[in-house]
Amino acid sequence: MGEPIVIALDGTSASGKSTNAKLVAKALGYAYVDTGAMYRSLAWHCLEKGVALDNDKAIASLCRRWKTELRNDDGHIRLYVNGYFPEKEIRTAKTSAAVPAVAAVPGVRKWMKAKQRDCAQFGNLVMEGRDIGSNIFPETEYKFYLDASLDERAKRRAADGVDENLAERDKRDSQRAAAPLMIPLGARIINNSEMTAEETSAMIIDEVRERLEAAG
C-alpha cells in the first residue's frame, strides 16, 4: 500500500467546489472532505462559547483546547465537536458571518492544517477548500482550481438563497496573511462559468483516471 491519493479542489466562493468534490469522490470511491465545514464548526463553537470574533488570541486558544474527533460517515470525513457534528448549525447566516474572522487567525490555520492532513488516515481523499493544493497537501500531483465569472457565481449564490458580497470575499481570502487563496503550483485551472457540475466533474474524473492508469 502506497501513500493515499489526495485530489485537491481549490477555488473561489460559488465556483462549484463542494458539488464537484462530492461527484468526483463518489465516482472514484474516495472519501470526501469539506474543509470549509471545519472552519464553520470552529466559528459555531466560538459563538457558543461567547468568544469575541475580533480577539485572535482567544480564538486561537479555543482552537487549541476544543475536543474534536475526525470520523468517516459513509465516505464523508467530518470533524465532531465533543462527540457532536453541528450539521445544521454551521450553515446558519450567523455562523457564516463569523467564519472569515475565525479563518484568518494564523493559529487556527496551523491547527487546521494538521487536522486536515490527518484525514489521510481514512485513505484516498477528495478534499475541497481554498488552500488544499497550496498549503495542506502541496505535494499531491492531483490539483484542480475551479473558478467562474463573478456574475455567474453571484447567480449561483442567489439561487441558493444566499446574499454574499463575493468580490469582497475574494479580496479577503486572497489577501489574508495566513494561507491565502491562490492558484496552487501545477494546478489545472477550470473556469466552469458555462459548464454544468456534471461536465466539470467529468473533466476532473477523466484526467485523474488517465494519470492513474499512466502511473500504473
Give the pLDDT confidence score for residue 151 in this predicted structure: 87
Q: Which CATH number fits domain 35-120: 3.40.50.620, 3.20.20.370, 3.40.50.720, 3.40.50.300?
A: 3.40.50.300
At 212, which amino acid appears?
L
Same fold, 1-30+123-216 and 35-120: yes
At 50, which amino acid appears?
G
Determine what percent of the chain is predicted with pLDDT higher than 70.
Answer: 96
Which range is least confidently modeled, 59-73, 96-110, 148-162? Answer: 148-162
Beta bridge partners of 76: 32, 73
Phi and psi for 190 in degrees, rounded to 5?
A: -125, 115
Q: What is the pLDDT of residues 187-214, one digit of tens each?
A: 999 999 999 999 999 999 999 999 999 9
CA 7 to chain centre: 12
Q: Which CATH number fits domain 1-30+123-216: 3.50.50.60, 3.30.2000.20, 3.30.2320.80, 3.40.50.300?
A: 3.40.50.300
Q: For the purposes of burial, counting CB atoms within 10 Å of the CB of 148, is it exposed (0-12), middle (13-18) or buried (19 or more)?
A: buried
Domain boundaries, given as residue ranges, for the chain: 1-30+123-216, 35-120
Question: Model's pTM, two decimal places?
Answer: 0.90
Q: What is the pLDDT of residues 164-183, one digit of tens each?
A: 777 677 677 777 667 677 88
What is the spatial distance between Cα 14 and Cα 1, in angstroms, rounded to a whole number? Answer: 36
Tell me what the pLDDT averaged over the chain comes to.
Answer: 92
Q: What is the pLDDT of residues 70-85, one digit of tens each?
A: 999 999 999 999 999 9
Give the pLDDT confidence score for residue 169 in this predicted structure: 74
Give the pLDDT confidence score for residue 167 in this predicted structure: 67
Q: Which three cell numbers stand for residue 31?
A: 472519501
Q: What is the pLDDT of residues 121-137, one digit of tens each?
A: 999 999 999 999 999 99
What is the spatial distance between Cα 37 and Cα 95, in angstroms, rounded to a whole number? Answer: 11
